[in-house]
Amino acid sequence: MFGLKRGSAADLLVLLAVWAGLLLLFGQLSAGFLSPATLGSVANRIPALLLVATGMTLLMVTGGIDLSVGSLVGFCGTVVGVVMVDWGWTLPAAVACSIAVGLLLGSVSGLVSVKLRLPSFIVTLGMLEVARGLAFLAAHSRTKYIGDTIESLGTPIAGLVVSPAFLCALLAVALGQALLSYTVLGRQLVAVGANIEAARISGIAVDRPRIAAHALLGALTGVAAVFNCSRLGSADPNAGVGFELSVIAAVVVGGTSLLGGRGSVAKSFLGVLIVATLEAGLVQAGASEPLKRVVTGVVIVVAVLADTWRRRD
Amino acid sequence: MLRAEHLTKRFGSVTALADVSFDLRAGEIHALCGENGAGKSTLIKLLSGVHPHGSYQGRFELDGREANFASIRDAQAAGIAVIYQELSCIDEMSVAENLFLGRPTTRYGVFIDRGAAERRAAAALARFGVSLDPAAPMRSLGIGQKQLVEIIKALLRESRILILDEPTAALAEHEVEVLLAILRDLRASGIGLIYISHRLEELAKIADRVTVLRDGATVASMPIAAADPATLVRHMVGRDVAELYPTRTARRGPPLLQVRDLSVAAAGSGIRIEGVSFDLHAGEVLGIGGLMGAGRTELLSHLYGAWGRRSAGRVTLDGHRLDAGGPDSSLRAGLALVTEDRRRYGLCIEQSIGFNLSLSSLAQVSRCGVVSRRSEALRNDEWFSKLGVHATGLDAVVGRLSGGNQQKVVLGKALMTAPKVVMLDEPTRGIDVGAKMEIYALINTLTESGCAVLLVSSELPELIGVSDRILMLHDGRVTGTFSREQATPEVLMKAALGTAVVHTDAA
């Protein structure tokens, strides 16, 4: 699958088994869990997560990270709201604006971090505040109701069980994995994350792939912001608070290293499924919000621990 | 006082030590030599508890009683201390803090008593005749001084057996003398020392006995009087040295790389390379020698575009100007570099052989930014077999290979770009004799096909054995150019020390 190596295929199977285990477990715990309705709602929840997790994987492979994606979802969503409600533009134009804004802010983070040699952790922590502030400024701190036009993206297509948003996210995952496995840029991302000095000496212009990864993640976050609006039918400047943590959790559960040099979009996809199923399942099983957070937190650490142990010789 | 009997240690299918016995008397310096991979470091790891008892066969005896160490702590408690080549001191702390690291001098068991620690440290330093300020930050010390602090730290822990792993590798001449004097004092006080060094002439000055390891087995053990360098080398290598270097067969062609009056400044400091000129011809190996800090690595890095700012001079490759624009433009122009530190600058250690091999040639194996798996595999297979990399396949992770095989991968990566000039910085450092010979043969093949090779090496025999001509650097300047016939270790050493500027007709 996607030109992955044998060891990687084994990793995928383990993740799939964990996911299947979760489905069975929650199926046992609450009778209605394995119904089309619940699964449909999981599928509906995850497009934004999938898109951003794909971009985040590509960035984390280089050894970078972006903490501002939650705020970017908020700000880009506000842009969609302003463009559609205040200016009366069409949905495609709003999508283009959202992507452009995401791309711009992602590139800014990338340029500042790479060219000025600051850790991306710090730069994007700053961007987290900046983008959230911009969201409130642009929206005058009010939620804008957009309505049916945008909701249609998140509703299942007649005849299919899944929504356009979900299909779009799947496409992004496939393209993301292909980029990582089959392209020169993908190789460069891995090389830069694995050993940036060796990559430089090998003749790779090391700044370019790193900035590209930030920019790409920004653009994907722009798309994710649209899907997030479509779930609510409105643009909320508060949207996406804490979203970055869900994304990073999913990517890490998928086995991507925080230190760079190792990662797979396909595995992040399964990471997203696991995290989303866990959250939906806990809700269904009647767990309270605080309890849900406790369990999710523990599961993330255990998943990474298991991954580390499996890698040890 | 220490006796090791019939030690055998295996890593998977590889036998690192095969039935090695070894003993150390109190008040003795016992030298351990052997090529890299001969088993020296494994033996030390057994002795110091890094590999715990039970993971190997054989037994240790300390003062006539059986002593087997389950951990590093165990071995330390028994009085065994290792001073590794890579020092483990903490630069941010003071000399005194480093000396009592892990056992701070405290008041009421809670508060660090800096004054008392410094008084104790001063006493300890004085006892060993070392004049250092205990309050000085470790950062401000030279490597030699840091090493002394490490040794004193070990002695303060009541160590009776001191193992020194290439302690003089990074030291200047006068620092070596200071260290050796201290080691002699320690010997006189009844401490047993195991001394590992590649510098054979040093052993004659300091050791009482020498044991030579090869391929995990003891091949010889003798008093130092019987161990002249030639004998030691024969034991270490297992053959006469003359056979090491292949006969050069390439014909010298027109000049490929021309360097004229090159001066380079380091960022932030002064001129590091001054007025260097030379021609490198097709089919030729030009050796570059000199001491540490003479500017050899800097010269190669600069030509490659990875270091320094050019303040004067002109470099042409095959008639085209080479402006040190960066590794990517150098590679395009046909200039490749194999760096000295392969783990740091050469390899993505957790990636596969294939990933590393093609890393510099991605543009050649891709179309519109998409890597063609077929043409990549084709090229990788070609170099994998050309270099004779010993591994299960292209998928094998580079970090698991031996030093020699790792070096072959780095070489393959550089050569896959089809360079006209290949610069090799210490290409045989830390690899075994077999792999060395293969690399020498490869250099020969390269020059036969019309490539030119610039070779930096700290080993004079290698420099003389492999090069057609040798350029000696001292303090960033050329102090001599020698043909192969003119080059003797003595002549080269003089030029390396900068005592005489020699220009011969070899240029």
pLDDT tens by residue, A39-85: 777 777 789 999 999 999 999 999 999 999 999 999 999 999 999 99
Q: Is A26 inside a domain boundary?
A: no
CA proximity to B431, closest of B406, B467, B459: B406
The dihedral region occupied by B295, where left means phi > 0, alpha psi between -120 and 50, and beta the remainder, is left
Res. A202: pLDDT tops 50: yes
Q: What is the pLDDT of residue A59?
A: 97
Sort out which chain A residues have CB atoms less than 8 A from B354's CB and list them. Answer: none
Whole-number pLDDT of residue A86: 92
ipTM of the complex: 0.88
B205: DSSP letter: H
Give pLDDT tens digits for B334-389: 999 999 888 889 999 989 999 999 999 999 999 999 999 999 999 999 999 999 88
What mean pLDDT value characterizes chain B? 86
B357, A202 contact by CB (below 8 A): no
A63 touches chain B (CB under 8 A): no
Between CA A306 and CA A255 the distance in angstroms is: 10
CATH number for A272: 1.10.3470
Per-residue pLDDT averaged across B172-192, rounded?
Answer: 85
B chain contacts of residue A208, beta-carbon cutoff 8 Å:
none
Domain residue limits, chain B:
2-239, 244-503
CB-based burial label for B114 (10 Å; 0-12, 13-18, 19+): middle
pLDDT given for residue A279 in this prediction? 85
Of B31-40, B69-78, B273-282, B300-309, the least confident: B31-40
Nearest residue, CB atoms, A202 vs list B344, B369, B413: B413
Burial class (CB in 10 A: 0-12, 13-18, 19+), A34: middle
Q: Which of A33-42, A226-235, B232-241, B431-440 has the lowest mean pLDDT?
A: B232-241
Q: How do strand B57-62 and strand B2-11 relate by DSSP bridges?
A: antiparallel
Task: Give the neighbor-by-neighbor strand order of the sheet with B255-265.
Answer: B271-281, B255-265, B309-317, B320-321
Interface check for B397 against chain A (CB to CB < 8 A): the answer is no
Residue B116 pLDDT > 90? no
On chain A, the residues whose CB falls within 8 A of the CB of B326 are 205
Task: Suggest the residue from B14, B371, B410 to mutate for an interface test with chain A (most A CBs closer than 10 A).
Answer: B371
Lowest mean pLDDT among A162-166, B149-153, B194-198, B290-294: B290-294
Task: Specify the pLDDT at position B417.
Answer: 95
- Asked if A201 and B327 come within 8 Å (Cβ–Cβ), the reply is yes
Q: Greater confidence, B334 or B138?
A: B334
Query: Which residue among B332, B347, B351 places its CB closest to the CB of A190?
Result: B351
Measured between its terminal Cα atoms, the distance across chain A in Å is 26
In terms of Cα–Cα distance, which of B394, B453, B68 is closest to B253?
B453
pLDDT given for residue A1 in this prediction: 34
Q: Where are the alpha helices (DSSP H) in B189-227?
A: 200-206
The answer to whether B348 contacts A187, with C-beta atoms less than 8 Å apart, is: no
Q: Which residues of B touch A191 (CB under 8 A)?
A: 348, 351, 355, 359
Domain B244-503 class in CATH: alpha beta
With an 8 Å Cβ cutoff, are B351 and A261 in contact? yes
Does residue A152 form part of some domain? yes
Element (H, E) at B367: strand B366-367
Q: Is A87 on the interface with B (CB under 8 A)?
A: no
B351, B355, B400, best to mutate vs chain A, most A CBs in 10 Å: B351
Substitution target from A202, A257, A311 for chain B, most B beta carbons within 10 A: A202
Distance (Å) of CA A186 to CA A107, B7, B103, B289: 18, 47, 49, 40
Two domains, one topology: B2-239 and B244-503: yes
Has residue B85 got a pLDDT over 80?
Answer: no
Q: Considering only the beta carbons, identify the residue of A6, A190, A203 that sits closest to B331.
A: A203
Distance CA B75, CA B45 (A): 10
What phi and psi values does residue B162 have, to the nearest 5 degrees?
Answer: -115, 125
Nearest-by-CA chain A residue for B360? A202
pLDDT at position B195 is 92
Residue B228's Cβ-count burial label (10 Å; 0-12, 13-18, 19+) is exposed
Q: Is residue A155 part of a domain?
A: yes
CA–CA separation, A131 and A139 (whole Å): 12
Q: Is residue A202 part of a domain?
A: yes
What is the DSSP pairing of strand B477-483 with strand B469-474?
Answer: antiparallel
Cβ contacts of B355 on chain A, cutoff 8 Å = 187, 190-191
The bridge status of strand B111-112 relative to strand B106-107 is antiparallel
pLDDT band at B229 (very low <50, low <70, confident <90, very high): confident
Q: Do A3 and B327 make contact, defined as CB atoms within 8 angstroms?
A: no
Q: How far apart are CA B356 and CA B394, in angstroms?
A: 10
Could you tell me which residues are beta bridge partners of residue B31? B195, B210
Most confident of A217-221, B272-276, B338-342: A217-221
Best of B301, B341, B359, B366 to disrupt the A interface (most A CBs within 10 Å) is: B359
Structural domain containing residue A92: 42-307
CB contact under 8 A, B348 and A194: yes
Residue B301 in contact with partner chain A when CB distance is under 8 A: no
Q: What residues contact A154, with CB distance under 8 A and at least 6 apart? A: A44, A47, A163, A164, A165, A227, A230, A231
Cβ density class B67-89: b for 16+ within 10 Å, e for less: bbbeeeebbbebbbbbbeeebeb
**Chain B positions in Cβ-Cβ contact with residue A188 (cut-off 8 Å):** 362
Cβ-Cβ contacts under 8 Å for B228 (sequence gap 6 or more): none
Residue A30 in any domain: the answer is no
Q: How confident is the model at residue A126 (pLDDT cuts 50, 70, 90)?
A: very high
Interface membership of B325 toward A (CB under 8 Å)? no
Dist. CA A236–CA A255, nearest whole Å: 32
Q: What is the pLDDT of residue B359?
A: 95
Nearest CA in chain B to A192: B348
Q: Cα–Cα distances in Å, from B224 out to B38, B202, B203, B240?
A: 20, 11, 8, 20
Residues of chain A positioned with their CB less than 8 A from the CB of B332: 203
Positive/negative CA dihedral, B196, B410, B143, B103: negative
Structural domains counted in chain A: 1
Structurally, at CATH architecture level, domain B2-239 sits in 3-Layer(aba) Sandwich (3.40)
Quickly state the pLDDT bin for A307 (edges 50, 70, 90): confident
Output the pTM of the full model.
0.79
Whether the per-residue pLDDT at B240 is higher than 70: the answer is no
Provide the 3-class DSSP secondary structure of residue B155.
Answer: helix
Handedness of CA B160, B166, B167, B168 (dihedral sign): positive
Report if residue A234 sits inside a domain: yes
Which residue from A minimizes the CA distance to B325? Answer: A203
Q: Is residue A13 part of a domain?
A: no
Sign of CA dihedral A267, B381, B416, A197: positive
Residues in B closer than 8 angstroms to A194, CB to CB, are: 348-351
Residues of A in contact with B349 (CB under 8 A): 194-195
Q: Does A190 touch chain B (CB under 8 A)?
A: yes
> Does residue A100 lie in a domain region?
yes
**Per-residue pLDDT tens for B302-341?**
999 988 889 899 999 998 998 878 999 999 999 999 998 8
3-state secondary structure chain A: CCCCCHHHHHHHHHHHHHHHHHHHHHHHHCCCCCCHHHHHHHHHHHHHHHHHHHHHHHHHHCCCCCCCHHHHHHHHHHHHHHHHHHCCCCHHHHHHHHHHHHHHHHHHHHHHHHHCCCCHHHHHHHHHHHHHHHHHHHHCCCCEECCHHHHHHHCCCCCCCCCHHHHHHHHHHHHHHHHHHHEHHHHHHHHHHHCHHHHHHCCCCCHHHHHHHHHHHHHHHHHHHHHHHHHHCEECCCCCCCHHHHHHHHHHHCCCCCCCCCCCHHHHHHHHHHHHHHHHHHHHCCCCHHHHHHHHHHHHHHHHHHHHHHHCC
pLDDT digits (tens, 9 = 90+) for A278-301: 888 888 888 888 888 898 888 888
User: What pLDDT, on a 0 to 100 scale, did the predictor assign at position B309?
Assistant: 87
Q: Does A192 touch chain B (CB under 8 A)?
A: no
**C-alpha separations of B223 from B68, B207, B213, B226, B232 in Å:** 28, 9, 15, 6, 12
- Selected residues 326-365 of chain B with any CB under 8 Å from a CB in chain A: 326-328, 330-332, 337, 339, 344-352, 355, 359-360, 362-363
Distance from CA of B286 to the nearest CA of A (A): 22
- CA pair distance B285, B454, nearest whole angstrom: 6
User: What percent of chain B clears pLDDT 70, i.e. is strictly above it?
Assistant: 94
Based on its alpha-carbon atoms, the radius of gyration of chain B, rounded to whole angstroms, reads 25
* Interchain pair B351, A3: CB under 8 A: no
Using an 8 Å CB-CB cutoff, list chain B residues near A197: 344-345
Which of the residues B347, B348, B416 would you substitute to probe the A interface, choosing the one with the greatest number of A C-beta atoms within 10 Å?
A: B348
pLDDT at position B380 is: 95
- Is A281 touching B (CB cutoff 8 A)? no
Residue A3 has pLDDT above 70, yes or no: no
Q: Is A198 near chain B, with CB under 8 Å?
A: yes
Q: Is A262 in Cβ contact with B327 (below 8 Å)? A: no
- Nearest-Cα distance to chain A for B26, in Å, is 39
Contact between A261 and B348 (Cβ < 8 Å): yes
